[in-house]
């Protein structure tokens, strides 16, 4: 093991949370030193920054942890792919770019459960502070933050028709899902900056990289939080097969995402004591809730074949052409391309709270898809029905019970992953 370096703050994971923490801690506390550890590499792939490239990274182990669930009885016994970013920017470097906050009620419920400071009125100033809203500042939005939020630049005729039909049926049009309410139909906004992805890394980390008090180490996989008693004092990590450690004088901040954070805590002896004991890990704190109660926004996709060969539909052919080198050259030359335009046109929004009466849905394998994606062989319109809020998640469980009994990831050469895999078995 190499000698331990010492910092005021050690942040684990350079995703959405980690990049913001690294930026704010190294700025607002100028004299504090900050270490940011990221298991993945740098965000150098152009496909990270080109919006439509996200389809490329959905199953790319170079930037993705590629977890999957246990076979799910409610979904034809399939394992459900759980992509998670493993690169600077974390999942914000591979995600769908949709800019959508939780509903006001979600935050208020968290506050009412005893989490002071998490009500919507409490978090709104931080949303405003982080946002660079294309439409300008108002009660709900900020225009001076680092995270760019943009409108759809070219509405699509299919989306326009869909939205018009919704209004005709008596549903309200909602031009801003991050404003007063999320109810209604309308276009989404996107975390895009001039047609390119505005990830946590480009928005929050890049401006901070030159600060002398911030050090970022990529390909550094934290394997254990070090404790003195119950006080976290540092982190042990692996880089190029070499074990190293870093000491935190003030705090260790775990920002590894919803799967890896509880996993790292469990590997460090913070979690259900029985689990730690089963794997010979010393118990630091017996906290049965660590790693439990994961709720995800399970979605079902309904694919309609288009009667006309419209451009920019969800067909595989469109993606294949958009990813071709011929499309790449105008992008490099002029800074604009079908990738960015298609991404922005293709997307439209379901109503977040539809009052639908449904019978128990019967699962049927989907229309022909390519490479594990949901793109079709034919020009298609795709509707996604998803449950996004905690209450909706409970409803989705009652329809199709999802239990993430074990998470699996591709084996790597490094030992921590093997420990990680066995720890999830339970």
Ligand X SMILES: Cc1cc2nc3c(=O)[nH]c(=O)nc-3n(C[C@H](O)[C@H](O)[C@H](O)COP(=O)(O)OP(=O)(O)OC[C@H]3O[C@@H](n4cnc5c(N)ncnc54)[C@H](O)[C@@H]3O)c2cc1C
Looking at residues 72 to 91 of the shown chain, list those that interact with ligand X (rule: CB under 6 A): 83-86, 90-91
Q: Which residue is nearest to ligand X (CB)?
A: 15
**Residue 39 interacts with ligand X (CB under 6 A)?**
yes
Q: To 5 degrees, how large is the angle CA 404–CA 406–CA 412?
A: 130
Q: Would you call 240 helix, strand, or coil by DSSP?
A: coil
Stretch that binds ligand X, among 31-39, 44-52, 135-143, 154-162 (CB under 6 A): 31-39
Cβ-contact 339, 326 below 8 angstroms = no
Q: Residue 412 and residue 418: Cα distance in Å, rounded?
A: 8
User: Of 260, 337, 347, 409, which lies in the binding site for ligand X, with binding defined by CB under 6 A?
Assistant: 260
Taking CB under 6 A as the rule, which mask of x and - marks residues 217-246 in contact with ligand X? ----xx------------------------
> Residue 184 or residue 416: which is nearer to ligand X going by CB?
416
> Residue 159 or residue 379: which is nearer to ligand X going by CB?
159
Cβ-contact 88, 205 below 8 angstroms = yes
User: Of 8, 38, 131, 236, which lies in the binding site for ligand X, with binding defined by CB under 6 A?
Assistant: 38
Query: For the chain, what is the largest distance between any 2 Cα atoms, rounded to a whole number of angstroms?
Result: 68
The set of residues, in sequence order, having a beta carbon less than 8 Å from that of 269 and lying 6+ positions away, is 227, 276, 281, 282, 283, 284, 285
* Nearest distance from C-beta of residue 87 to ligand X, angstroms: 6
Count of helices and strands (H, E) across the chain: 14, 16
291: left (phi over 0), alpha (psi -120 to 50) or beta: left
User: Of 21, 26, 34, 40, which lies in the binding site for ligand X, with binding defined by CB under 6 A?
Assistant: 40
- Side-chain-side CA neighbours of 113 within 13 Å: the count stands at 8
CA 307 to chain centre: 34
DSSP state of 229: T
Q: Residue 256 and residue 11: Cα distance in Å, rounded?
A: 9
> Residue 94 or residue 192: which is nearer to ligand X going by CB?
94
> Residue 222 or residue 303: which is nearer to ligand X going by CB?
222
* Nearest distance from C-beta of residue 19 to ligand X, angstroms: 8
User: Of 25, 35, 36, 94, which lies in the binding site for ligand X, with binding defined by CB under 6 A?
Assistant: 94
**Residue 50 interacts with ligand X (CB under 6 A)?**
no
**Residue 272 interacts with ligand X (CB under 6 A)?**
no
User: Of 256, 272, 338, 379, which lies in the binding site for ligand X, with binding defined by CB under 6 A?
Assistant: 256
**Residue 264 interacts with ligand X (CB under 6 A)?**
yes
> Residue 39 or residue 214: which is nearer to ligand X going by CB?
39
Task: Tell me the number of residues near ligand X by CB under 6 A.
Answer: 32
Looking at residues 1 to 30 of the shown chain, list those that interact with ligand X (rule: CB under 6 A): 12-18
Stretch that binds ligand X, among 23-31, 258-266, 335-343, 385-393 (CB under 6 A): 258-266
The two beta strands, 196-197 and 192-193, are antiparallel
296: left (phi over 0), alpha (psi -120 to 50) or beta: beta
Q: Residue 115 and residue 91: Cα distance in Å, rounded?
A: 25
**Residue 92 interacts with ligand X (CB under 6 A)?**
yes
Binding site for ligand X (CB under 6 A): 12-18, 37-40, 83-86, 90-92, 94-98, 100, 221-222, 255-258, 260, 264
């Amino acid at each position: 093991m190499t000698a331990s370096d010492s910092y005021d703050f050690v942040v684990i994971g350079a995703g959405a949370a980690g990049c913001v923490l690294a930026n704010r801690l190294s700025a607002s506390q100028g004299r504090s030193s900050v270490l940011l550890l990221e298991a993945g590499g740098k965000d150098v792939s152009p496909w990270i920054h080109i919006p439509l490239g996200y389809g490329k990274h959905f199953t790319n182990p170079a930037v993705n942890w590629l977890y999957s669930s246990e076979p799910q009885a409610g979904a034809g016994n399939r394992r459900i792919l759980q992509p998670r970013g493993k690169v600077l920017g974390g999942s914000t470097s591979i995600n769908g770019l949709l800019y959508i906050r939780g509903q006001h009620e979600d935050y208020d419920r968290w506050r009412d459960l005893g989490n002071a400071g998490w009500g919507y009125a409490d978090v709104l100033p931080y949303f405003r502070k982080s946002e660079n809203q294309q439409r300008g500042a108002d009660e709900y939005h900020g225009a001076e933050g680092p995270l760019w939020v943009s409108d759809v630049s070219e509405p699509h005729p299919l989306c326009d028709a869909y939205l018009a039909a919704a209004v005709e049926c008596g549903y309200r049009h909602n031009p801003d899902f991050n404003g007063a309410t999320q109810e209604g139909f309308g276009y989404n906004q996107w975390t895009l900056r001039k047609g390119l992805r505005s990830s946590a890394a480009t928005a929050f980390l890049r401006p901070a990289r030159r600060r002398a008090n911030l050090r970022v180490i990529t390909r550094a996989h934290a394997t254990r939080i070090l404790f003195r008693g119950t006080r976290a004092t540092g982190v042990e990590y692996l880089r190029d097969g070499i074990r190293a450690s870093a000491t935190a004088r003030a705090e260790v901040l775990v920002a590894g995402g919803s799967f890896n954070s509880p996993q790292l805590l469990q590997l460090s002896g913070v979690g259900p004591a029985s689990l730690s004991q089963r794997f010979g890990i010393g118990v630091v704190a017996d906290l049965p809730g660590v790693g439990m109660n994961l709720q995800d926004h399970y979605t079902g996709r309904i694919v309609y074949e288009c009667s006309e060969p419209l451009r920019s539909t969800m067909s595989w052919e469109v993606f294949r052409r958009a990813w071709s080198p011929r499309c790449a050259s105008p992008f490099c030359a002029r800074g604009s391309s079908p990738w960015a335009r298609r991404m922005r046109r293709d997307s439209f929004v379901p109503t977040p709270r539809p009052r639908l009466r449904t019978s128990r849905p019967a699962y049927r394998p989907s229309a022909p898809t390519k490479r594990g994606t949901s793109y079709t062989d034919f020009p298609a319109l795709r509707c996604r029905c998803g449950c996004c809020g905690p209450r909706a998640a409970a409803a989705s469980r009652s329809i199709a019970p999802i239990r993430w009994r074990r998470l699996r990831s591709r084996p790597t050469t490094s030992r921590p992953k093997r420990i990680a895999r066995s720890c999830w078995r339970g």
